[in-house]
Chains A and B, each alone.
Chain A
Amino acid sequence: MRELRVTPIKNGTVIDHIPAGMALKVLKILGIGDGVASTVTVAMHVPSQAMGWKDIVKVEDRELGTREIDKIALIAPSASVNVIRNYNVAEKRRVALPDRAVGILRCGNPNCISNAREPVESEFVVRSKAPLRIYCKYCDRELEDIPSHIV
Chain B
Amino acid sequence: MSSFRGRDVLSIRDFSRADIELVLKTARKMVPIALGKKVSRDLEGRILGTLFYEPSTRTRLSFESAMGRLGGRVLGFSSAEGTSVQKGETLADTIRMVEAYSDGVVLSHPQEGAARLAAEFSEKPVINAGDGAGQHPTQTLLDLFTIWDEKGSIEGQRVALVGDLKYGRTVHSLTYALAELGAHLSFVSPPTLEMPREIVDHIKERHLSFQLSHRLEDVIREADVLYVTRIQKERFPDPQEYEKVAGSYRVDLDLLKDAKRDLIIMHPLPRVTEIAPEVDRTKHALYFKQAFNGVPVRMALLDLILGGGP
Contacts and interface: CB of A to CB of B under 8 A. Distances in A.
A120 B95 CA distance: 14
B113 A138 contact: yes
Interface string B120-140: 100000000001111100000
Contacts of A120: 92, 117, 120
A13 B141 CA distance: 54
A111 B132 contact: yes
A130 interface: no
A142 B113 CA distance: 13
B90 A113 contact: no
6 contacts: A113-B117, A114-B117, A116-B90, A139-B134, A140-B11, A140-B134
A119 B111 CA distance: 15
Interface in A110-126: 111-114, 116-120
B112 A141 contact: yes
A95 B132 CA distance: 37
Contacts of A141: 112
Nearest to A117: B90
Contacts of B112: 109, 111-113, 138-141
Interface in B86-101: 90-92
Interface in B129-178: 131-135
Contacts of B111: 111-113, 116
Given A139-B134, A140-B135, A113 B114 contact: yes
Contact of B90 (A119, A138, A139, A140): A119
A6 B198 CA distance: 46
Contacts of B116: 113, 137-138
Contacts of A14: none
Nearest to B118: A113
B92 A140 contact: no
A83 interface: no
Interface residues on A, range: 10 to 19
Interface string A125-143: 0000000000011111110
The 8 closest A-B pairs by CB, nearest first: A138-B113, A139-B112, A139-B113, A113-B113, A113-B111, A113-B114, A113-B117, A118-B90
Contacts of A119: 90, 92
A114 B113 contact: yes
Q: Which of B92, B111, B131, B134 has the most CB of A within 10 A?
A: B111
Contacts of B117: 113-114, 118, 120, 138
A117 B113 CA distance: 13
A118 B133 contact: no
Q: Which of B11, B134, B198 has the most CB of A within 10 A?
A: B134
Interface in B235-263: none
A113 B91 contact: yes
A134 to B, nearest CB: 13
A142 B133 CA distance: 14
B277 interface: no
B134 A118 contact: no
B32 interface: no
A136 to B, nearest CB: 7
B205 to A, nearest CB: 13
Contacts of A142: 198
B117 to A, nearest CB: 5
Contacts of B135: 140
Given A109-B112, A141-B112, 9 more contacts: A111-B133, A113-B91, A116-B91, A118-B92, A119-B92, A120-B92, A120-B117, A139-B134, A140-B135
Contacts of B198: 142
A100 to B, nearest CB: 14
B110 interface: yes
